[in-house]
Amino acid sequence: MDKPIPKVPNWRVLMNLPTIFKNPLIFHSALYDDLGDSFIVNSLNGEDLILTRSSNMIQHVLQKNHKNYQKSKFQTVDLAKYIGHGLLTTNGEHWLIHRRMIQPGFGRKKLQGLLSIIRDTVTYEVERFDTGKTVDVLPMMSDLAFQTVAKGLFSAGDIRQRMASLQEITNTAQKMLIKEVRQPYLRWWFRLSGSLERHINMGDEAREILNELVSERKSSGREEDDLLDMLLAARYEDGQPMSNRQLLDEVMILFTAGHETTANALSFTMFHIAKDKVIQQRIFDEVSHFDFGDDNLPNVFKDLTYTRQCIEEAMRLYPPAYLVDRVAINDDEVDGHKIPAGTMILLSLFELHRDDQFWKDSSSFNPDRFHTDRKSERIGRYFPFGAGPRMCVGNHFAMFEMIIAIAKIVKSYKLRCDLEHIELVPMVSLKPKEVPITFELR
In the bound state with ligand HEM, the residue whose beta carbon lies nearer, of 68 and 195, is 68
In the bound state with ligand HEM, the residue whose beta carbon lies nearer, of 24 and 152, is 152
**Closest distance of CB 43 from ligand HEM, Å:** 18
Contact 42, 10 (CB under 8 A): yes
CA-based torsion, 399, 375, 358, 281: positive or negative: negative
In the bound state with ligand HEM, the residue whose beta carbon lies nearer, of 320 and 432, is 320
In the bound state with ligand HEM, the residue whose beta carbon lies nearer, of 353 and 390, is 390
In the bound state with ligand HEM, the residue whose beta carbon lies nearer, of 8 and 101, is 101
Can you list the alpha helix ranges (DSSP code H) found in 276-394? Answer: 277-287, 300-303, 305-317, 349-352
Burial class (CB in 10 A: 0-12, 13-18, 19+), 170: buried
In the bound state with ligand HEM, the residue whose beta carbon lies nearer, of 8 and 300, is 300
In the bound state with ligand HEM, the residue whose beta carbon lies nearer, of 367 and 386, is 386
| Of 355, 373, 246, the residue nearest 305 (C-alpha) | 373
Interior angle at CA 386, CA 383 and CA 389, nearest 5: 135
- Assign 345 to helix, strand or coil: strand
- C-alpha span between 141 and 400 (Å, rounded): 15
**φ and ψ of 354, to 5 deg:** -115, 15
In the bound state with ligand HEM, the residue whose beta carbon lies nearer, of 5 and 321, is 321
Which residue pairs from 158-166 have beta carbons closer than 8 angstroms and sit at least 24 positions apart in sequence? Answer: 159/213, 162/209, 162/212, 162/213, 165/205, 165/209, 166/206, 166/209, 166/210, 166/255
Site residues (vs ligand HEM, CB under 6 A): 87-88, 99, 149, 253-254, 257-258, 261-262, 265, 320-321, 324, 384-386, 390, 392-394, 397-398
In the bound state with ligand HEM, the residue whose beta carbon lies nearer, of 87 and 310, is 87
Which residue sits closest to ligand HEM, CB atoms considered? Answer: 394
**Closest distance of CB 148 from ligand HEM, Å:** 8
In the bound state with ligand HEM, the residue whose beta carbon lies nearer, of 24 and 320, is 320
**φ and ψ of 53, to 5 deg:** -120, 10
- C-alpha span between 318 and 296 (Å, rounded): 30
In the bound state with ligand HEM, the residue whose beta carbon lies nearer, of 94 and 416, is 94
- C-alpha span between 258 and 148 (Å, rounded): 9
In the bound state with ligand HEM, the residue whose beta carbon lies nearer, of 146 and 190, is 146
- Assign 390 to helix, strand or coil: helix
CB neighbours of 318 closer than 8 A, spacing ≥ 6? 264, 265, 268, 350, 424, 430, 432
Which residue pairs from 376-383 have beta carbons closer than 8 angstroms and sit at least 24 positions apart in sequence? Answer: 380/55, 380/58, 380/59, 381/55, 381/352, 381/353, 381/355, 382/316, 382/352, 382/353, 383/58, 383/62, 383/319, 383/324, 383/349, 383/352
**Closest distance of CB 80 from ligand HEM, Å:** 12
| Of 211, 218, 212, the residue nearest 247 (C-alpha) | 211
Contact 265, 296 (CB under 8 A): no
Specify the DSSP element, H or E, that contains 244: helix 244-275
Burial class (CB in 10 A: 0-12, 13-18, 19+), 420: exposed
**Closest distance of CB 390 from ligand HEM, Å:** 4
